[in-house]
Chain A
Amino acid sequence: MTQKFSILIVDDEFVVRDSLSKWFMQDGYKVGTAENAAQALKMMNEGPWDIIFIDIKMPGMNGLELQKRIKEIDPNAIIIIITAFASVDTAVQALKEGAYDYITKPIDPDYLSHLVKNVLKHKKLTDEHIKLREHISELIMGEELIGESPQIKKVIELAKTVAPTNTTVMIRGESGTGKELVARLIHAHSPRRYFPFVSVNCGAVPDTLLESELFGHEKGAFTDALYRRKGKFEIADGGTIFLDEIGTISLKMQIQLLRVLETKQFTRIGGNETITSDFRVICATNCNLEQAVKEGKFREDLYYRLNVFTIFIPPLRERRSDIPLIANYYLKKYATMMHKPITEISPEAMDMLIRYDWPGNVRELKNAIERAMVLAKPPAILPQDLPIHPIEEEQPENETLEAVEKAHILKILNKTNWNITQAAKILGIDRVTLYNKIEKYNLRRDRNT
């Protein structure tokens, strides 16, 4: 763990001192408490304290007076005033006299943690001790880009090259090639790595919800909005936002997006507070954006704003030499997870894997191995355990109409990334019918999309 900060809590109420100190102790802070001004001044000797919380209303010397005395001892002390709604005026007075901020009881935990984080972020960034931490791959946690082929090496090299900059990156590639992994790789190698990586699949969220998803909403912004909710742009502050399926968003959203990218400012739905967020954008698409621009479905200005640096991930069938590596990686992983002593893929099965075209790319291969692991008997995965049938398409005469329909619907769904509206359109049926068919055939979307 990196260096820990210290917090002093001054309040005459035991329950406030107790619950606040527990709250901060969980964060690993060194916490001190004082129940009155005299004790607080004594505690100053045990400092320095990075943040001092002071209750404004205390018997004896009040918070305002105490603040003055503390500032005499340590002019740089960061003081946060705790107040009840009734005494906000005094809190404002405290601000004028150099308090960092004030909070009202009961305290919004979300606000409190952000306030503390912001104070410490500032301290932390200026601290030399924060050096680049090793174990970057840990940030990607488990999943990584696997491959030794020149194509995938090129992708990794490009990602690492662009990582330290603030450049907007566009990742192109068929679905299942690992676009999000590349985005995470960039984030993990950037100075933003200590801040969140926030991923939004624009294609999976209906347009009406996407706005709230990205910008957040205030309590009461719409009938059912019972609580305030932060948008992804706000959460990504300091970090990276990954916009997947960027090609699917509506023209209206495109305009809003363009504005946010340019100003880095926005308001929550139903709110009027302007929120500023420092985020880096990485986006991804598997559709032909240039064509969409030509057809007027995608704004040209937004296209240029996003398409600053492009990384293209080749489909798996174009780097077949990586297939054994990836297959064995997932073999090991699932064998451990499922506690199954399966240690190899038989040469015949491996041959099938290498020759198959993998329209669903790495994701499909991963799923194939996972499924095979369930079916296979120790010690090896055999051809019959694999859910791939390269010859299937040559003998469709044997298939029932239902099977063909099921396969076709699944294909279109995957192609449109489960955009129901789009898929229904292509299939020439309405959405309700499509939903019914999905239900009937028990079609499920891959979790990792």
Chain B
Amino acid sequence: MTSPKLNKILIVPIYPVDFSLVLTLVPSIREIFKCDVILDNTNHLNLSSAYDSSRYQFNSTKIISILSEKFNNFNGKVLGVISVDLFIPVLTYVFGEAQLGGKISVVSTFRLNEIAYGFQENRKLTEERLLKEAVHELGHNFGLLHCENYLCVMHPSTSVEEVDIKSPYFCNDCYEKLFWQISSKFNDYHDGK
């Protein structure tokens, strides 16, 4: 139960992205999910099909399918990180999107940066926000739903202020579910053998 090493998380910087921001995610995500975290900086994705020129935004659902195709054979979760504005067709914007209980998720730093709101850049804050949103989307990948505890990382946030309120950690309930997820996968593997 202590080392469910079969669960790997692959972090994929999707250009354009601030690579140094992506780097800050690796140790924290490793610590929080207690599993191997790999950074993949070799794949350059062609995002042209995800760009919507009438909205000047990128369709996150399409980015997810691009990632899904690319990492089809990867055994673990894949988190794409990008610095452009994301949307899903029915909504004006999203911070990120994840396949609920699936393998792929994507987050954007675009609206996590103080600059977007007319304030001075605050890197530390952007890093903290990115970590929270990344953990949140990965949480969805592990099948977690939104949580009512407003300090829990699985609390939904549609505005950056709500991102700031919550912590980067799972509450006890969510943590239990997450760990059950992780360890039951581990058991499945052994049973399957």
Interface of A toward B, CB cutoff 8 Å: 1-2, 15-16, 19-20, 22-23, 25-28, 105-110, 112-114, 135, 138-139, 141, 194-198, 209, 217, 221-227, 229-230, 232, 235
Complex contact B145–A28 (CB within 8 A)? yes
Q: Mark B156-185, 1 if CB is under 8 A from A, else 0.
A: 101111100101010111000000000000
Q: Which residue of B is nearest A224, CB measured?
A: B118
Alpha-carbon distance A275/B147, docked complex (angstroms): 27
Say yes or no: is B87 at the interface (Cβ < 8 Å to chain A).
yes
Cβ of A143 to closest chain B Cβ, rounded Å:
11
Say yes or no: is B1 at the interface (Cβ < 8 Å to chain A).
no
- Chain B residues bordering chain A, tally (CB within 8 A): 36
Q: Pick the contact of B111 from A19, A106, A108, A227 — CB < 8 Å?
A: A227
Complex contact B171–A194 (CB within 8 A)? no
Q: Mark B104-145, 1 if CB is under 8 A from A, else 0.
A: 000000010001111100000000000000000000100001
Q: Pick the contact of B90 from A19, A135, A139, A195 — CB < 8 Å?
A: A19
Quick one: given A27-B156, A138-B171, A138-B172, are A225 and B161 in contact (CB under 8 Å)? no
With A113-B156, A138-B171, A232-B161 already in contact, 11 other A-B pairs whose C-beta atoms are closer than 8 Å: A1-B173, A19-B90, A25-B145, A26-B140, A26-B156, A106-B55, A138-B149, A139-B151, A141-B167, A225-B117, A226-B117
Q: Which residues of chain A are within 8 angstroms of B88 by Cβ–Cβ distance?
A: 19, 23
Q: Which residues of chain B are within 8 angstroms of A22 by Cβ–Cβ distance?
A: 100
Q: Pick the contact of B161 from A20, A138, A230 — CB < 8 Å?
A: A230
Cβ of A405 to closest chain B Cβ, rounded Å:
27
Q: Which residues of chain B are within 8 angstroms of A197 by Cβ–Cβ distance?
A: 150, 165
Complex contact A139–B111 (CB within 8 A)? no
Complex contact B156–A19 (CB within 8 A)? no
Cβ of B181 to closest chain A Cβ, rounded Å:
16
Cβ of B145 to closest chain A Cβ, rounded Å:
4
Say yes or no: is B89 at the interface (Cβ < 8 Å to chain A).
yes
Alpha-carbon distance A198/B100, docked complex (angstroms): 29
Alpha-carbon distance A235/B169, docked complex (angstroms): 21
The A-contacting residues of B in range 83-99, CB under 8 angstroms, are 87-94
Q: Can you offer 16 A-B residue contacts whose CB atoms are under 8 A? A: A16-B90, A19-B90, A26-B140, A26-B146, A27-B146, A27-B156, A28-B145, A105-B90, A106-B92, A108-B91, A138-B171, A141-B169, A197-B165, A222-B118, A224-B115, A230-B161
